[in-house]
Amino acid sequence: MNVVASTDLRAFQEALDLLQADGGPARVPDVREPALERGEALLMAVNGARPQAQRFQVARRGVQHRRHLRKYAEGELPPDRSFYFRGPRGALNLRAANLKRFCELAEGVDEATWAYHLARGDYSAWMRERIKDEELADEVSGLETGAHDTRRRVLEAVRRRYAV
């Protein structure tokens, strides 16, 4: 091993201690203080005569992480995490176990059912709590305030992010 890197000070120091105990460099700096800030990391090449740890800022990811993209788009969520189109009188029980099925059902439900869930904020709540997509939930929440053509716009937002 000739490089140690970490975003956690304790893990970094433990790696250096192990390296030193295993016959690594005789002198390694003590890097226990000051604490690393969020987004900060330590890097040290240990093959030189005088190893020095360097702090640096980790670059933000260039592509947004989209958690379990395929799972939420096409996989089957369990019943307790699925969306149910029930309507204002609870006459329906249409289960959307993923975003693809959500879009299909959303296109077919009557206007009263669509409006009922829209007014309650059910769409954004499901996307935030069950799909775990804060950004999509925020976008849909902005549409739930009664904006014109909400069904089309909500479905466009889902399809744009998940290609369903």
pLDDT for residue 66: 55
Q: What residue numbers bound the domain in which 158 lies?
A: 69-162
Do 94 and 143 share a structural domain?
Answer: yes
Do 75 and 103 share a structural domain?
Answer: yes
Do 77 and 29 share a structural domain?
Answer: no
pLDDT for residue 98: 94
In a domain, 63, yes or no: no
Which positions of the chain have pLDDT values less than 50? Answer: none
Do 89 and 146 share a structural domain?
Answer: yes
In a domain, 8, yes or no: yes
Do 84 and 16 share a structural domain?
Answer: no
Domain end marker among 57, 77, 98: 57
SS3 at position 5: strand
Q: At what angle do helices 122-129 and 134-143 cross, to 10 degrees?
A: 180
